[in-house]
Structure 1
């Protein structure tokens, strides 16, 4: 415990005193595993969620590192029950794995047969699975990869995906920084996404997630499918890509 900038609460919220001399250092440290909820003038509120902790685990952070950050920057004693919960939650990541099999295609694997047995009893998971090859391996039906990962998340058992991806069709694309410049955190987010192979970019509203997406496309240099919730969002993406990259109007197709 120290006179740190962070107040860690038992309800899994983190309150960051942004006027503290160590606030920027602390913010960078907790950004790897905590989600920003509110950012008023003096106190920013972050929250620890299973998804945030699992994303951190996928990025190479373990429970010990997360706990060390909280203990280092916390102004008061960190609730012991919260530390136990963090360790237990993060230990669930990677107990299930999706892998490519030369004969059976996509398979779900676990070195813990009890975990595999538990998830296969799930009503939404069972229809996505095929033949059980052994006590640690079961076949996944083609086309169910994404749906299965979502279902496993809801059950609290996130699968680590080692099945790989098919390379997309090459399409040259570069950022066109004419009258603007990508910010450092946007560049780091795009690089982290690209080098990680996949992931979720979490940024506040107005922080430039579209620019991060364009930068990731520039890393990939491949034909890219962008899914949005409505036509307005599709048009916004189109306008931003034309403004921020060297793509022209004929390079971008819209399906709505």
Structure 2
């Protein structure tokens, strides 16, 4: 045996742990180790003895009538190590104890489909995940794939390569005579795919074997039809640029924000996807600076109109006369116009927006776009279309429409922002609360539908649990969320804090929010009205006493209220033990887990018993969802 061969029989502790994973047991015999490593049993036995003598990392025991078995002295390490198991045929990946790095890598080409309280994560590689992967070429995507999975899996790699190519078979461009052309990569693509899947009336006439004249009013339909057929379309149209505006940005962008701006300007369309607090609005102002053309900004509500106006006036050289508002209270059009989706989508107003040629349209909270009313704004003519969303996910499975109607996702890995300290990684805990008494549990068991969900969400035992969490974090600036008005009113009375809902007058709502921002209030109780579109940047703690079923978007939005550069980001999601709220809570936190946040589960800490906090029975029966 040569010296090299002798050295190869040295056994490191890491190699021993890898062998345990291969065996699938926490103990191993010398014979089994030899089989795994391809050694002789004598070599394996000698290597185990040497490793055991070197720092006592291993222990051995003679089992009666069985061979000697070896196991780690530190048993915990066998359960704490990351383990990636790939099921190539199903394109699924199961990861036990994943590191944040691994989760961030997987999020680039796969979707999290399940997670458990034991830190096990299940991912699936889907077509749309590959289409929207944040890579410039398939080679870099393949490198990320291999690094995350730890090995080559030809079936998965072939699928990824195929889907990457499918996303580059069709493009739309503007002909020199002004009409829109659909171009296919080959005559077969045009004949066998486009002609078979496009709706009647979308194509006016063929031009060549690979090109066709698209009806101007049917561009969005073409993109949707081909997307549904498995072929996303690249939109390279040249649209009217709108009039120039004199705008300069008066702040410095972070490196990743400059990257967003550069990627968007190169493509002309896309959706900025990043966690709350990452500065998507500031990046959008950077895009406005680069485009330098008349801009329409669409937002879901009036609160956001004011916030956009204030940001534009504070961070750019534009004056008040350059910024117009269009909504229920004011209807003006200017060089930069901020309008609500509902106003811009109404038939009686839409002509004003259709006739004007915008250089840029910004779709804030872009996950609203697939809605039947809001999507009417997606056909507005603009040379550039910019979407913004921390959570481009929907409960109706129409999130694909966001990218077909606006553009592909553009963003930075959440993990990179967490590591750089730009955004705090949220610490999320699902806390299971028992029923306050048997009477409430029996009432839940006999109910169904909406009433059943309401009873679980409004479990009076949550009052004690909220109080316990607040006492555990006495100095934290806290947002407390509910989905039911009666529950909110009971919590407000029990905790002596204000409750802001959709029924709260606008003036009082603004006053309470201002007091919270200014530090005059440490705890604020809010309904669904604060899920998005309201600037509450200083929250450190979020308590979700009840939520919107299993909405992942709502879960990420509420957690996002704490994800700012300074301090800690703590999120507690309360769920009544033994009810469907358990699954709802896991679903609501799934998007956060997918983006790299750790989600743990625990039982309630408060002493739960029938207490003075329980309201009369008739008050509970009358609760209803906040509109």
- TM band (smaller chain): 0.7 to 0.9
* TM-score, length of structure 1 as denominator length: 0.74
Deviation (angstroms), 1:202:
1.6
Inter-CA distance 158–238: structure 2 relative to 1 (3 Å threshold) = same
Find 1:216's aligned residue among 284, 287, 302.
287
Distance 1:210 1:37, change over 3 A: farther
Residue 148 of structure 1: how far off its partner (Å)? 2.3
Q: 1:88 aligns with which of 137, 162, 175?
A: 162
User: Is 1:54 aligned to 2:131, yes or no?
Assistant: yes
Return the offset for 1:211.
1.2
Question: Counterpart in 2 of 1:11?
Answer: 92
- Alignment match, 1:65: 140
Alignment of 1:82-161 (within 5 A): 82-103=156-177, 105-117=179-191, 118-122=193-197, 125-161=199-235
- Flag structure 2 segments of 5+ consecutive residues without an equivalent: 1-17, 19-80, 114-118, 328-627
Structure 1 counterpart SS, 2:270: coil
CA contact (8 A) 2:106 2:148 kept: no
Distance 2:148 2:171 in 1: 34
Where 1:200 maps in the other structure, the secondary structure is strand
Name the residue aligned to 2:238: 164
Q: 1:176 aligns with which of 230, 235, 250?
A: 250
The secondary structure found in structure 2 opposite 1:94 is coil
Partners in 2 of 1:250 and 1:43 — Cα distance? 55
CA contact (8 A) 2:111 2:126 kept: no
Q: Does 1:206 align with 2:288?
A: no
The equivalent of 1:233 in structure 2 is 304
8 Å contact from structure 1 (residues 106, 141) kept in 2: yes
In the TM superposition, residue 221 of structure 1 has moved relative to its aligned partner by 1.6
CA contact (8 A) 1:34 1:48 kept: yes
Q: After the TM superposition, which segments of 4 or more aligned residues of structure 1 sit over 4 Å from their partners?
A: 3-9, 12-16, 33-38, 42-49
- Cα pair distance change 1:186/1:108, threshold 3 Å: same
Mark the CA change 1:111 to 1:80 in structure 2 (over 3 Å): closer, same or farther.
Answer: closer
Contact 1:6 1:74 in 2 (8 A): no
Structure 1 SS opposite 2:197: coil
What count of residue pairs does the alignment treat as equivalent? 238
**2:244/2:292 contact within 8 Å kept:** yes
- Flag structure 1 segments of 5+ consecutive residues without an equivalent: none
Whether 1:251 and 2:327 are equivalent positions in the alignment is no
Moved more, 7-16 or 85-94: 7-16
Highest relative contact order (Cα 8 Å, sep 6+), 1 or 2? Answer: 1
